[in-house]
Amino acid sequence: MENSIEIPGYKVLVPNNTWGRKTRPVSHPIFGGKYPATEVLQIIRYTNPSNQEIISLIKARAKEYNPLSFLEEELRKAKEKEYIGISNFFEMLPEKEIGDIAKENKKTIKHLEEHILEDDCPAGTTYLTIISGRVPNEVLDIREKERHLVIARYISLITQLGNDVWQTKIRLNDKDKLPKESEISQLINETVYSPNTLFIKGDKKSYDIVSDAIKSLYPILSNQLIKIQDDYNVILATKAVVAIRETAKCLEMKKSLKQIAKDIARKFKERDNPFQKN
């Protein structure tokens, strides 16, 4: 495909982002049995957002939130290049909580901040994430048309339905270039995790696979890295959604615990005074 990075043996699925190649069959995650599969390889470049940027985005969406404006939300979602409409997730929160976020209530914002997932990667630094997994062909019918939605769909398919998934994250240097290949190889050989340079997710087998993958991909990426655009907005929206979802879970748990406490108190009261009417 013209202007897209070509990786030997792979077919381009999303230009300069996702590639695929035929692989051995995989087990179906629900029905069992063996199904034809594709080994999907995704390379994402992004600048890590700060917690303040995540909170700012959530506050902005809370201030314009209107649960009835679905069409308006879809149009804005495409314009802002968010992989999913953040406002859709506000439906998980109580209406008062959304209002307090919009009003920038200090206690509410602090609670929201507590549910931003911890990240060892410094804000403002740029990373190249490479993720791969064998995915059943039957789920690879991607119908979304917006690029950011397609990217998010592939991420979901690999992480949720993929077999033999591995992932590596490499921090780019101050010149927005890959570290020296020798530096990366040394860290892999020593199975060292370094948030300033390299992160690998998986077992020892993953380290061996990543080592081979980097050896084959490094010459290609080092010369064409500029073609991989920074998907900061995708990562920012993803982290905002996670913070909203985790906050909603916490609030629901607190609500459940309060109800349990009330039920226990009522039962103790009934035990102490068995003649009291309910």
- Taking 90 as the threshold, does the pLDDT of residue 233 lie above it? no
User: Is position 80 within any domain?
Assistant: yes
User: Is position 104 within any domain?
Assistant: yes
User: Is position 278 within any domain?
Assistant: no
Is the domain of 93 the same as that of 141? Answer: no
pLDDT on residue 83: 44
Mean pLDDT of 202-225: 82
Is the domain of 134 the same as that of 164? Answer: yes
Mean pLDDT of 247-275: 81
Is the domain of 188 the same as that of 71? Answer: no
Is the domain of 243 the same as that of 166? Answer: no
203 falls in which pLDDT band (50, 70, 90)? low
The lowest-confidence range among 4-13, 60-69, 200-209, 257-266 is 200-209
User: Is position 93 within any domain?
Assistant: yes
User: Is position 70 within any domain?
Assistant: yes
Which residues, 6 or more positions from 196, have their beta carbon under 8 angstroms from its beta carbon?
Answer: 171
- Taking 80 as the threshold, does the pLDDT of residue 145 lie above it? no
Is the domain of 131 the same as that of 87? Answer: no
User: Is position 68 within any domain?
Assistant: yes
Structural domain that includes position 68: 51-118+232-263
How far is it, in rounded angstroms, from Cα 222 to Cα 200? 19
- Taking 90 as the threshold, does the pLDDT of residue 1 lie above it? no
User: Is position 6 within any domain?
Assistant: no
| β-bridge partners, 45 | 128, 230
Is the domain of 140 the same as that of 209? Answer: yes
pTM of this prediction exceeds 0.85: no
C-alpha closest to that of 121 among 230, 48, 188: 48
Span 95-119, pLDDT tens digits? 899 999 999 999 999 999 999 988 7
Is the domain of 22 the same as that of 157? Answer: yes
pLDDT on residue 85: 61
Is the domain of 66 the same as that of 106? Answer: yes
Is the domain of 124 the same as that of 215? Answer: yes
Mean pLDDT of 7-24: 93
- Number of compact structural domains in the chain: 2
Mean pLDDT of 128-143: 86
Q: Which amino acid is at 120?
A: D
Span 49-89, pLDDT tens digits? 999 999 999 999 899 887 665 455 555 555 555 445 666 67
Is the domain of 39 the same as that of 164? Answer: yes
* Neighbour count for residue 34 (Cβ, 10 Å): 11
Span 156-190, pLDDT tens digits? 888 888 888 888 888 898 888 998 888 887 777 76
User: Can you give the three-state secondary structure of the chain, one letter per residue?
Assistant: CCCCCCCCCCEEEECCCEEEEEEEEEECCCCCCEEEEEEEEEEEEEECCCHHHHHHHHHHHHHCCCCCCHHHHHHHHHHHCCCCCHHHHHHHCCHHHHHHHHCCCHHHHHHHHCCCCCCCCCCCCEEEEEEEEEEEHHHCCCCCCCHHHHHHHHHHHHHHHCEEEEEEEEECCCCCCCCCHHHHHHHHHCCCCECCCEEEECCHHHHHHHHHHHHHHHHHHHHHHHHCCECHHHHHHHHHHHHHHHHHHHHHHHHHHHHHHHHHHHHHHHHHCCCCCC
Is the domain of 17 the same as that of 141? Answer: yes
Domain boundary among 212, 227, 242: 227
Q: Give me the chain's average pLDDT, please.
A: 82
Is the domain of 78 the same as that of 212? Answer: no
Mean pLDDT of 28-38: 78
User: Is position 276 within any domain?
Assistant: no
